[in-house]
């Protein structure tokens, strides 16, 4: 695989910086729920709120530099302008869809996040964890489907009422009664069919991976992460579970990927100095994180039913995230192609 600097940066630095925090956080969050402790709903929104300034939103705020760096170039004005144009056109068009057809826009958000979070984990498996068991395109597509389904499907199976509540909060910013249009997704028969199909795919992808693995360790890591996250999303209520996952799982892994294509940050990682590398990321991400928060403020004045409560503000934030995620997926898919994640 063609991943710049990966070879020079020791695996232990990447494990400790990019993978371990997500494992530790998900275990730390699941323990109280296993012990039967209940966490007040208001508190459960905290990680999503924090994600607006720490890791979550910032992980996409370097997209204007990421494409050029992945190609091995210094980002020039033309390269940056191309990414801005992509965001304007793709994000702008999708924003219009939210106003015209919010229920369809919500469904698209789930599908796109499903793909994108799966895509992020496929990169982590291949490039950060050195997995060799995902040999073919169908296997990699299967891994993306399974990994993305953990945060997007498992909460629907385990916590349908929470899922319905958040869906309703998002859609209601635009049209109060429109969420009724996706009521079928929460029916017990639909959820049972989804659970059986998805469960079979989890078992099948891991079994094929087991047969094809030369190295046992990365396969074990894949299986442990998959089954661990399955338990995590089945036990932890989704707003909290997704908030923590978004910051410390998906975003952190993507930040590591960004550091590896930034020469100075990669050099810092080679010297086992992740703090210096992360400081560079923070500097690169700060301007567009601030600009994004300003745009989020602007969105407040545009939606027909502006938010008043914390859950409603988080809903507005998620709509904004949805709009920027679509062009972000294009950027990450360009990185995937350049780094041969799919071939």
For ligand RET, the binding residues (CB under 6 A) are 109-110, 113, 116, 152, 155, 162-163, 166-167, 238-239, 242, 246, 250, 318, 321, 325
Nearest to 332 by CA among 222, 231, 233, 258: 258
Alpha-carbon span 101 to 95, nearest angstrom: 10
For ligand RET, the closer CB: 65 or 252: 252
Q: Do 149 and 114 touch, CB atoms closer than 8 A?
A: yes
Nearest to 330 by CA among 74, 61, 90: 90
Residue position matching structure tokens 């009422």: 161
For ligand RET, the closer CB: 110 or 268: 110
What is the CA angle 62-64-66, rounded to 5?
65
Q: Say whether 64 counts as a known binding-site residue.
A: no
Q: Say whether 71 counts as a known binding-site residue.
A: no
Q: Say whether 133 counts as a known binding-site residue.
A: no
Sign of CA dihedral 65, 70, 74, 78: negative
For ligand RET, the closer CB: 115 or 210: 115
Q: Say whether 59 counts as a known binding-site residue.
A: yes
Q: Is 339 left (phi over 0), alpha (psi -120 to 50) or beta?
A: alpha
- Smallest gap, in angstroms, from Cβ of residue 39 to ligand RET? 15
- Smallest gap, in angstroms, from Cβ of residue 133 to ligand RET? 26
For ligand RET, the closer CB: 102 or 218: 102
For ligand RET, the closer CB: 128 or 170: 170
- Smallest gap, in angstroms, from Cβ of residue 116 to ligand RET? 6
Alpha-carbon span 333 to 287, nearest angstrom: 23
- Smallest gap, in angstroms, from Cβ of residue 258 to ligand RET? 13
Give the annotated binding-site residues. 59, 116, 250, 254
Give the annotated binding-site residues for Fe cation. 59, 116, 250, 254
């Amino acid at each position: 695989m063609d991943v710049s600097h990966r070879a020079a940066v020791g695996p232990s630095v990447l494990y400790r910086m990019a993978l371990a925090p997500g494992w530790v956080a998900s275990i730390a969050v699941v323990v109280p729920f296993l012990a039967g402790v209940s966490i007040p709903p208001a508190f459960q929104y905290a990680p999503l709120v924090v994600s607006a300034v720490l890791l979550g939103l910032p992980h996409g705020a370097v997209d204007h530099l990421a494409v050029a760096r992945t190609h091995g170039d210094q980002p020039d004005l033309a390269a940056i302008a191309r990414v801005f144009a992509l965001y304007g056109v793709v994000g702008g068009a999708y924003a219009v869809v939210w106003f015209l057809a919010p229920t369809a826009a919500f469904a698209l958000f789930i599908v796109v996040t499903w793909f994108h979070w799966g895509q992020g984990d496929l990169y982590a498996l291949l490039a950060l964890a050195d997995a060799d068991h995902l040999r073919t395109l169908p296997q990699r597509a299967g891994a993306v489907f399974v990994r993305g389904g953990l945060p997007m499907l498992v909460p629907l199976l385990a916590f349908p009422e929470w899922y319905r509540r958040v869906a309703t909060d998002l859609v209601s910013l635009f049209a109060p009664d429109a969420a009724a249009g996706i009521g079928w997704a929460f029916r017990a028969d639909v959820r049972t069919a989804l659970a059986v199909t998805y469960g079979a795919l989890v078992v099948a992808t891991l079994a094929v991976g087991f047969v094809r693995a030369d190295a046992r360790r990365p396969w074990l890591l894949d299986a442990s992460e998959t089954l661990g996250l399955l338990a995590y999303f089945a036990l932890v209520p989704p707003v909290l579970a997704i908030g923590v996952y978004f910051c410390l799982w998906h975003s952190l892994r993507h930040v590591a990927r960004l550091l590896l294509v930034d020469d100075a940050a990669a050099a810092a990682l080679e010297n086992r100095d992740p703090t210096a590398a992360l400081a560079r990321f923070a500097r690169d991400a700060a301007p567009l994180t601030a600009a994004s928060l300003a745009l989020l403020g602007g969105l407040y004045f545009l939606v027909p039913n502006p938010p008043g409560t914390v859950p409603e503000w988080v809903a507005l934030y998620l709509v904004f995230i949805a709009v920027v995620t679509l062009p972000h997926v294009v950027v990450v898919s360009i990185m995937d192609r350049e780094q041969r994640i799919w071939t």
